[in-house]
Amino acid sequence: MTRRLLAPLVLGAASVLALAGCAGGTPSASGLTDAGGKVTVVASTDVYGSIAQDIGGDFVNVTSIITSPTQDPHEYEASAQDQPTLKGAQLVIENGAGYDAFMESLLEASGSTAEVLTAVEYNSTYPGGGAHDDASASPSADDTDHGHEHVEGFNEHVWYDPNTVDDLAKAIAEHLGKLAPDHAADFTANADAFVQKVAGLKDSLGQIEAKDAGAKVFVTEPVPVYLIEAAGLVNATPNEFSESVEEGQDVPPATLLESLQLLDSGQIKVMIVNPQTAGAETTQVTDEAKAKNIPVLEFTETLPEGQTYLSWMQSNITALSNALAA
């Protein structure tokens, strides 16, 4: 949300996933890059890459750093091979709040002067966030790096929150319009169409709430919590269980026992697992849920193959609705 001039630094060597593509080029007088006549956009994950593609349409060239459904963005380590991608970017989209901390390292190492949009700053529950109240607003100089801080107790998986995505889409359109003013109207129209489709997702969530409000859900990690809350459902997971899984730590034995007893109690209607952070304890509670005939769904942090952000979210919502009806 603010232009940064960043100094290069050296990144440690690390193995990384292959990039989905790399677009370079120098901005022309019209604001578009010379190479292919498109604005160059880089996103930390293909979730944000898909949103940017929907907004930018034919006038953007989008590269996502993480595209594999098996890669946990929390654990991704950037290397020097990633730097040229960021260096050529005009607009960068990251999640923030420590979720994709590798982006900060890349931005600094590449010397990028790209505009940076940080998704958590459009979430009303993020401390100092809520930029969605005025999607065109930019943070003050004092707040420039605020969106990159990890905040204890904050759920950083904000792409599962329809309201955050609404306002991020509008901000993407605005920033693309500044980079390529000749196509500002196209970006605005695409954002309006995107937001309309997000409204359809909200309607689907409202239908779940109308039928199943208050139903209890067990999540192995906080990934889908915004979505289930938007559907009027209750996250009944012991906090220490999901937090331990998210942080890659062992679940305390007492918390694991509490979780198994909760599944045995008959209160849980659906379990949602993040397969990108699976471990022994998640396998144990998943097996217990299946033994009790509790539907088990998988919600990931990156796009399944062949899906866009919108189709993926609708698929998740449909799966949740069907599981509750089972």
The pLDDT confidence band at residue 77, using thresholds 50, 70 and 90, is confident
3-state secondary structure of 236: coil
- Is pLDDT at 215 greater than 50 in this prediction? yes
pLDDT at res. 246: 85
Q: What is residue 80's predicted lDDT score, i.e. its pLDDT?
A: 76
Reply yes or no on whether the pLDDT at 79 is more than 60: yes
pLDDT at 148: 60
Q: Is the pTM higher than 0.75? A: yes
Cβ atoms 55, 76 nearer than 8 A? no
| Range scoring the smallest mean pLDDT among 64-73, 214-223, 290-299, 302-311 | 64-73
Are the C-beta atoms of residues 82 and 106 closer than 8 Å to each other?
Answer: yes
Distance between alpha carbon 300 and the CA centroid of its chain, in Å?
Answer: 10
């600094």: which residue's tokens?
A: 108
Write down the pLDDT at residue 7.
Answer: 32
% of the chain surpassing 70 pLDDT: 82
CA atoms 156, 106, 116, 170: torsion sign: negative
- How does pLDDT run across 2-55, given as a tens digit for each residue? 333 333 333 333 333 333 333 334 443 334 454 467 999 999 999 999 999 999
Confidence of residue 147 (pLDDT cuts 50, 70, 90): low
Give, in order, the Cα–Cα distances in Å from 77 to each of 46, 66, 89, 252.
Answer: 16, 11, 19, 28
| Element holding 301 (H helix, E strand) | none
Cα distance between residue 22 and residue 316, in whole Å = 30
Are 61 and 88 a contacting pair, CB within 8 Å?
no
Q: What confidence score (pLDDT) does residue 33 get?
A: 53
| Range in 33-42, 86-95, 239-248 with the lowest mean pLDDT | 33-42
Dmax over CA atoms of the chain, in Å, equals 65
State yes or no: pLDDT of 136 exceeds 60.
no
pLDDT at position 19 is: 33
Please count the other Cβ atoms lying within 10 Å of the Cβ belonging to residue 13.
10
Q: Centre a 10 Å sphere on the Cβ of residue 295 and count the other Cβ atoms it contains.
A: 18
In the prediction, which pLDDT does 188 show? Answer: 98
Domains of the chain: 2-198 (3.40.50.1980), 213-325 (3.40.50.1980)
Q: How far apart are the first and last CA of the chain?
A: 44
- How many other C-beta atoms can be found within 10 angstroms of the C-beta atom of residue 249? 12
Whether 97 has a pLDDT exceeding 50, the answer reads: yes
Burial code of 181-212, b = ≥16 C-beta within 10 A, e = fewer?
A: eebbebbbebbeebbebbeebeebbeebbeeb
**Backbone angle region of 306, left / alpha / beta, with phi > 0 → left and psi within -120 to 50 → alpha:** left
Query: Is a pLDDT exceeding 50 seen at residue 266?
Result: yes
Q: If you average pLDDT over every residue of the chain, what do you get?
A: 85
